[in-house]
A and B are shown apart, each in its own frame.
Chain A
Amino acid sequence: GQQLNQSPQSMFIQEGEDVSMNCTSSSIFNTWLWYKQDPGEGPVLLIALYKAGELTSNGRLTAQFGITRKDSFLNISASIPSDVGIYFCAGRGAGKSTFGDGTTLTVKP
């Protein structure tokens, strides 16, 4: 089946720093999505990308759909303590979504 490689697995940063994480796949996806999960809760959609090369922002978050359609990245600028959580990428193709294993973000005040 389709697999996503999400990296890094975890990040420990200082408040105010920028963050970058990415997902790559051997398969082509039609859609890339980024979710955030707070402890003990369900994931919440942050950004959805529908076109190769698309660059979309949501506040301090910016995500891009790679030109090859096999990768995507998420950047968080000027991190704050409430950014802590697990960030998941998901690629959608053939009517199904495949999730990465997540990037756990810790922000130190």
Chain B
Amino acid sequence: SQTIHQWPATLVQPVGSPLSLECTVEGTSNPNLYWYRQAAGRGLQLLFYSVGIGQISSEVPQNLSASRPQDRQFILSSKKLLLSDSGFYLCAWSVREGRAELFFGEGSRLTVL
């Protein structure tokens, strides 16, 4: 069966520090991968998606970047965090073709102080 894991689960970082959130998927090949951000009391905002190694599409201009160094690994990064980067970050995967279902990781809560 397929599983998705992301870490760390919780992170408290000072303004201006770097960020790296990692996500890995197991039990499937060639998945589409996604990073979403969820602000408190709001829905999910798509930040990045990837259809393959090294292929990253950005949905909104921001202080963050994403990379996909391996087929089942997706990394969310920042060189210098802003207060507005605080939120709940969710990694998700879907099959490459046809189906619309997203399968989410456990989430990473980032607090920037």
Q: Which residues of A contact B (CB under 8 A)?
A: 4, 6, 30-31, 33, 35, 40-45, 48, 50, 88, 90, 92, 96-97, 99-102
Q: Are A33 and B104 in contact (CB under 8 A)?
A: no
Q: Mark B14-55, 1 if CB is under 8 A from A, else 0.
A: 000000000000000000000000000111101000000000
Q: Are A101 and B101 in contact (CB under 8 A)?
A: no
Q: Mark B85-110, 1 if CB is under 8 A from A, else 0.
A: 00000101000000111111111010
Minimum-distance CB pairs A-B, first 8: A42-B104, A92-B100, A31-B100, A99-B43, A101-B43, A99-B44, A42-B107, A43-B104
CB distance from B110 to the nearest CB of A (A): 13
Pick the residue among A4, A31, A41, A99 that contacts B106 (CB under 8 A). Answer: A41
Most A C-beta atoms less than 10 A away, residue of B41, B43, B92, B106: B43
A6 to B104, CA, bound (A): 21
Q: Tell me the interface secondary structure of chain B in the complex.
A: loop
Q: Which residues of B contact A (CB under 8 A)?
A: 41-44, 46, 90, 92, 99-107, 109
A29 to B76, CA, bound (A): 29
Residues of B within 8 A of A45 (CB): 101-103
Q: Are B100 and A43 in contact (CB under 8 A)?
A: no
Residues of A within 8 A of B44 (CB): 43, 88, 99
Residues of B within 8 A of A42 (CB): 90, 92, 104-107
Q: Are B104 and A97 in contact (CB under 8 A)?
A: no
Q: Are A48 and B104 in contact (CB under 8 A)?
A: no
A35 to B94, CA, bound (A): 14
